[in-house]
Every structure is written in C-alpha cells, then in structure tokens.
Amino acid sequence: MPVRVAESSAPSQVSGTNSGNTSPPACTLLSVGQAFSGTQNVSSLQKEEAWRVNVRIQGCDLEHGYLCGTMEALNVPMADTPIVVTFWEGEIVDTKNYTFYTGKWEASPEDDKRHWTKFPSFAPLLNQVEVDGGKSLDLSNYPYIFMRWKEQYFVNVGTDCGLTIAGFYYVCFSCSDGSINGFYYDPNSSPFQKLELKSTNEGRSGFSFSSYELQ
C-alpha cells in the first residue's frame, strides 16, 4: 500500500512440462496464521523512504490457487494513524488456475515480464512464459511460489488515509526459508516499490479481525 502519489539465487533448470494437474509445493510456511515482517521501500525522484510491514495469512487454498490475508503498514508518512491495515486476496501462479500473465488491473504482458524478471528465480522460466504464459510449466516441485496480491479494502481506516490500494503486488515466496519479495505495480504510483518480508516466530497465533476496530 504505497503513499498515494501521481508520478508519471536462481535454480539451474525448470522441473518439466505440465501434466495438467499440478499444484504448487505444499510449503508449511505458506499456511493459515503464518506471519511475516519486513519493509516496503518507496523510491521517487524526490526521495527514498521505507516503512515497516507485517503480513498474516488468513486463508490458503492451494488447489484453487487462492490465498488471502492482512497487511499492516506502520508509521507511514502522510498517514493519519500509526498503523494502516488492509485486507488482500492473492492468486497463486500454478499454471492451472493462474498464469504469469495478469490480464487485468491495467497490467499488460510487458508489465508482467518487467516485474517477474526482477526476481532471479524467475529467469529459468522466462523463455517458456514468453511462449505460452508458462501454461506448460510444471511448478509442483519448484522451490519458489509466484503470486499476485491485490489489496481489496482498508480494515481500520477510510479511503482518505493518504494511501492507495489501486495497484497490486507481484510476489515471490521462497519455500526453503519463507522469505517473500514483491514489487508493487500501479501506473499512478512510483514504479518497482519493493516489499521484503521474512517469516516470523509468531507462527499461527489466534489472530482475528476483532483485533482491529473496523471502519
């Protein structure tokens, strides 16, 4: 969730072709209740800044390529409250339910490639993605999971909080250590705002929306 602005290690090979019934690897760190913490960096021509971000997964359905969760942004410049919370829904790129081509949210195939290629782990997949969007790839044993996260609404503030949720995140999740890297895309925001998260030891504590005062 960037500030509202208006400014114009990779695997050596791909695991194979898609048999038609593949799902991403079952990662224990990508499950309901898991928490992540890190930063979002925003760079523009005028300045560079970063703020703390906490994410928690609220739902995960690997079979249908779906997950959802909450994102907390802490001490964001221009925000009216110390913590801004959003609810997001995610698409897991499994080549069955979703491919690497977004097809919505004002993202063109070229936008997709520009952002996916920011992740070194995507490099072995690029050639096949250029052919068919990666539909023939088998990602079931790939050590990374690629996703798109789209914030749907603000949980504890109104839409006039100084932040925007018009765009979405291209996300890469490492199955080995639970780290998450992402890049925010919104034609009306600073490009390539980077999200960096690490899994925390909080694990699956009993979080619920009742933790927040809904607006």
pLDDT digits over 168-196, tens only?
999 999 999 999 999 999 988 778 889 99
CATH class of 28-199: mainly beta
**DSSP, residue by residue, 64-93:** GTEEEEEEEEES-TT-SSSEEEEEEEEEE-
- Express each pLDDT in 38-72 by its tens digit: 999 876 555 667 889 999 999 999 899 999 999 99
- Reported as a pLDDT band with limits 50, 70 and 90, residue 2 is low
pLDDT tens sequence across 82-141: 889 999 999 999 999 999 999 999 999 999 999 999 999 999 999 999 998 889 999 989
DSSP one-letter string for 98-117: --S---STT--HHHHHHHHT
The tens digit of pLDDT for each residue in 125-154 reads: 999 999 988 899 999 899 999 999 999 999
- What is the rounded CA–CA span in Å between residue 115 and residue 74? 25
Tokens of 90: 């995610």
Using alpha carbons, list the distances in angstroms from residue 79 to 22, 74, 82, 84, 186: 42, 9, 7, 8, 19
For position 112, what pLDDT does the model report? 96
pTM: 0.82
CA angle 11, 14, 20 (to 5 degrees): 140
Name residue, tokens 């760079």.
43
Mean pLDDT value of segment 154-173: 89
Q: How far apart are CA 169 and CA 68, in angstroms?
A: 13
Q: Which residue has the tokens 């309901």?
A: 32
